[in-house]
């Protein structure tokens, strides 16, 4: 499988776990989240997991705390674990090429905007509009944030190379 296919497979497992969380099947959400994290580790290596362990713990705990503070964990108990696994998978996929991330972000940003519009135009939801928008944000926002982080790192690296090759210009 190509890296893009593995990325889409991992995201598919994550979206399944978000769907099962919203439907109330918490055990299935835990299982699919763990499978998504294993898929992301398999796509890269266990060394990538070790190398980014501090970033994964920081981002995962922050995202899990945000779901607890927002009140999503009261209605969907597995959402903290799903969000943690989603953040960890996205951080692991920073190892991928920028083209893979950019193409995925463009496609999924369109899907996220369509889902936002559907929720806002048809306000009937089981959990309420606010919680539904928070769940959509928790599912989709780590992906573009990963892309922006990688793009920023590339810009910083390029500027360091420019400064090192021709320091008189800076």
Q: Among all chains, which residue has been given the structure tokens 């970033």? A: 55
pLDDT at position 163 over 80: no
pLDDT at position 136 over 90: no
Instruction: Specify the higher pLDDT residue, 91 or 168.
Output: 91
pLDDT digits over 57-89, tens only? 998 898 888 888 888 888 888 889 999 998 888
The pLDDT assigned to 167 comes to: 61
- Domain span at residue 8? 3-169
State pTM to two decimals. 0.79
Helix (H, G, I), strand (E, B) or coil at 84: helix
Ramachandran angles phi, psi of 52, nearest 5°: -105, 20
The two structure tokens encoding residue 10: 């991992």
Say how many domains are in the chain: 1
Residues 6+ apart with CB under 8 A from 93: 7, 10, 40, 43, 44, 100, 101, 146
Q: Write down the H helix ranges in the chain.
A: 3-23, 26-43, 46-51, 53-70, 72-75, 79-92, 98-121, 129-140, 142-165
The two structure tokens encoding residue 2: 């190509």
């Amino acid at each position: 499988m190509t890296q893009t296919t593995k990325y889409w497979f991992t995201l598919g497992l994550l979206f399944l776990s978000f769907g099962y969380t919203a439907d109330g099947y918490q055990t299935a959400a835990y299982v699919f989240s763990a499978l998504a994290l294993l898929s992301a580790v398999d796509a890269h290596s266990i060394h990538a997991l070790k190398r980014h362990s501090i970033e994964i713990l920081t981002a995962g705990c922050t995202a899990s705390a945000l779901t607890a503070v927002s009140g999503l964990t009261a209605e969907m108990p597995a959402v903290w674990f799903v969000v943690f696994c989603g953040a960890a998978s996205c951080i692991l996929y920073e190892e991928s090429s920028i083209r893979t991330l950019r193409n995925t972000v463009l496609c999924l940003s369109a899907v996220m905007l369509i889902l936002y519009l559907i929720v806002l135009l048809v306000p009937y939801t089981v959990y309420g509009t606010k919680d539904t928008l928070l769940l959509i944000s928790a599912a989709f926002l780590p992906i573009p944030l990963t892309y922006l982080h990688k793009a920023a790192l590339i810009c910083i690296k390029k500027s360091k190379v420019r400064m090192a090759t021709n320091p008189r210009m800076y």
